[in-house]
Structure 1
Amino acid sequence: MTATLSRETAGVPTPPVRIVHLGLGAFHRAHQAWFTAQATDAAEWGIAAFTGRSPAAAVALAAQDHLYTLTRRGADGDRTEVVGSIVEAHRGDDLARLADLFADPRVAVVTLTITEAGYRLLPDGLPDVADPVLAADIENLRDALAHRDPLGEVAANSALGRLLLGLEIRRRAGAGPIAIVPCDNVPDNGRWLRTGLIATAGMVDDLLAGWVAEQVSVVSTSVDRITPRLSEADAAWALESRGDACPVVAEPFADWTLEGDFPAGRPDWESAGARFVDDIEPWEQRKLWLLNGAHSILASAGPLRGHETVAEAIADPACRDLVERYWGEAVALLPEGIEHADYRGALIDRFANPRIVHRLEQIAADAATKTRYRAATVAERTLDAGRVPDASLEAVAAWVAGVIAGHRAPDSQDDLIDQALAADDPVARLLEVVSPRLAGDAASLEAVRSRVAALRAADPVASAT
Structure 2
Amino acid sequence: MNITTVTSPITPEQHQAGIVHIGLGAFHRAHQAVYIENTLAKCGGDWALFSANIRSNVTLVEQLNEANNVFHVVEYADQNTATVREIRAMKEALFAGDAMGRQALVKRLADTHTKIVTMTVTEKGYFLSPATGQLQTDNADIQHDLANLESPKTIIGLLVQGLRLRREAGLEPFTVLCCDNMPHNGKRVQTAVVSFAKAFDAELAGWIEQQVAFPSSMVDRIVPAMTEADFAAIKQDTGIDSPTVVKCEQFSQWVVEDDFPQGRPQWEAFGVQMVADVSAYEMMKLRMLNGSHSLLAYLGPIACYETVAQAMTDPAIEQFLRFYMMQEVAPTLPSFDQQELEDYCSALIQRFKNDSLQHRLQQIAMDGSQKLPQRWLQGWCDLSQQGMARQATELGLAGWMLYVMQHQQAQTSINDPLQTTMFAAISQSENTAEKVASLLAMTDIFPALLADDTALCERISYLVTQLQQSPLQPTLSSLSS
TM-score with structure 1 setting the length: 0.90
CA gap 1:421/1:272 in 2 versus in 1, 3 angstroms: same
Find out whether 1:401 has 2:406 as its counterpart. no
Distance 1:336 1:128, change over 3 A: closer
> How far 1:432 moved relative to its partner?
3.1
Q: Which amino acid aligns with 1:419?
A: A
Measured after TM superposition, the shift of residue 412 of structure 1 is 0.9
1:408 Cα deviation from its structure 2 partner: 5.7
- 418, 422, 425: which one aligns with 1:417: 422
Tell me, in whole angstroms, the C-alpha distance in 1 between the residues paired with 2:267 and 2:144.
Answer: 37
Rounded to whole Å, the distance in 2 between the matches of 1:421 and 1:53 is 30
**1:64 equivalent in structure 2:** 67
Which deviations, in whole Å up to 9, do the C-alpha atoms of 1:63-115 show, x marking residues without a partner? 11111000001114111110111111101231222232222222110001000
Residue 29 of structure 2 aligns with which residue? 29
Deviations 1:262-301 (A, max 9, x none): 0111111111111122221111110000000000110000
Tell me, in whole angstroms, the C-alpha distance in 2 between the residues paired with 1:113 and 1:50.
10
Partners of 1:100 and 1:372 in 2: CA distance:
36
Question: How many residues in Structure 1 have an aligned counterpart in Structure 2?
Answer: 440
Is the contact between residue 96 and residue 104 of structure 2 (CA under 8 Å) also seen in structure 1? no
CA distances 1:104-140 after superposition (whole Å, capped 9, x unpaired):
2221100010000111112433210221111111122
Deviates more, 1:302-311 or 1:95-104: 95-104
Counterpart of 1:17, as a letter, is: A
Deviates further, 23-32 or 311-320? 311-320
Percent identical residues: 34
Deviation per CA, 1:285-318, whole angstroms, max 9, x where unpaired? Answer: 1000000000011000011111100011122233
Within the candidate set 55, 65, 88, 1:84 is matched to 88
Aligned partners of 2:137 and 2:143 also within 8 Å: yes
Q: Which amino acid aligns with 1:430?
A: L
Q: 1:435 aligns with which of 446, 455, 461?
A: 446
Q: Per the alignment, in what secondary structure is the counterpart of residue 180 of structure 1?
A: strand
Q: 1:183 aligns with which of 168, 176, 179?
A: 179
- Residue pair 1:68, 1:83 contacting (<8 A) in 2 also: yes
Q: How does 1:71-150 map to 2 (within 5 A)?
A: 71-75=74-78, 76-93=80-97, 94-123=101-130, 124-141=132-149
Shift of 1:356: 1.1
CA spacing shift, 1:421–1:318, aligned 2, 3 Å: farther
Which residue identity lines up with residue 182 of structure 1 in the other structure?
A: C
* 1:228 maps onto 2:224 in alignment: yes
1:50 aligns to what? 52
Once residues 247 and 193 of structure 2 are traced to their aligned partners in structure 1, the CA distance between those partners, rounded to angstroms, is 33
Alignment partner for residue 435 of structure 2, among 417, 426, 431? Answer: 426
SS of match in other structure, 1:89: strand
Superposition map of 1:213-292 within 5 A: 213-236=209-232, 241-242=239-240, 244-292=242-290
Asked if 1 retains the 8 angstrom alpha-carbon contact of 2:312 and 2:352, the reply is yes
Deviation at 1:320, TM superposition (A): 2.6
The one-letter amino acid of 2:119's match is L
User: Which residue pairs with 1:371 in the alignment?
Assistant: 372
- Match of residue 459, structure 2, among 434, 441, 447: 447
Structure 1 residue aligned with 2:386: 385
Q: Distance in 2 between matches of 1:294 and 1:10?
A: 35
2:102 touches 2:153 (CA, 8 Å); kept in 1?
A: no
Question: What's 1:316 paired with?
Answer: 314
Amino acid corresponding to residue 194 of structure 1 in structure 2: Q
- The C-alpha deviation readout for 1:9-51, integer Å capped at 9, x for no partner, is 9764002100001110000011111111111324531110111
Q: 1:245 to 1:103 in 2, by over 3 A?
A: same
Give the deviation of 1:180 after TM superposition: 0.5
AA partner of residue 198 (structure 2): G
Q: 1:169 aligns with which of 165, 173, 176?
A: 165
Closer, same or farther: CA 62–459 of 1 in aligned 2, 3 Å: farther
Contact 1:36 1:42 in 2 (8 A): no
- Give yes or no for contact 1:304–1:458 (8 Å, CA) kept in 2: no
CA distance in 1, matches of 2:234, 2:461: 48
More off after superposition, 203-212 vs 22-31? 203-212
Q: The residue matched to 1:127 in structure 2 has which SS?
A: coil
SS of the residue 2:213 aligns to: strand
* Corresponding residue of 1:362: 363
10 and 324 in structure 1: CA distance in 2 versus 1, 3 angstrom threshold: closer
Q: CA deviation at 1:236?
A: 4.5
User: Partners of 1:126 and 1:108 in 2: how far apart?
Assistant: 27
User: Residue 291 of structure 2: which of 268, 271, 293 is its match?
Assistant: 293
Distance 1:234 1:172, change over 3 A: same
Instruction: State the secondary structure of the residue aligned to 2:332.
Output: coil
| Partner-residue secondary structure (3-state), 2:254 | strand
Equivalent residue number for residue 20 of structure 1:
20
For the residue of structure 2 that corresponds to 1:69, the secondary structure is strand
Deviation for aligned residue 1:198: 0.8
Change (3 A) 1:386 1:11: closer
Q: Which amino acid aligns with 1:281?
A: S
CA RMSD of aligned residues (A): 2.0
User: Which consecutive residues of structure 2, in runs of 5 or more, have no partner in the other structure?
Assistant: 1-6, 473-481
**SS state at 1:24 partner:** coil
Change (3 A) 1:239 1:201: farther
- Residue in 2 that maps onto 1:210: 206
Aligned CA distance change for structure 1 residues 42 and 220 (closer, same or farther; 3 Å) = same
The 10-residue stretch of structure 1 (259-268 or 314-323) with the greater mean CA deviation from structure 2? 314-323
Secondary structure class of the residue paired with 2:219: strand
Deviation at 1:234, TM superposition (A): 3.6
Counterpart secondary structure, 2:388:
coil
Determine helix, strand or coil for the equivalent of 1:20.
strand
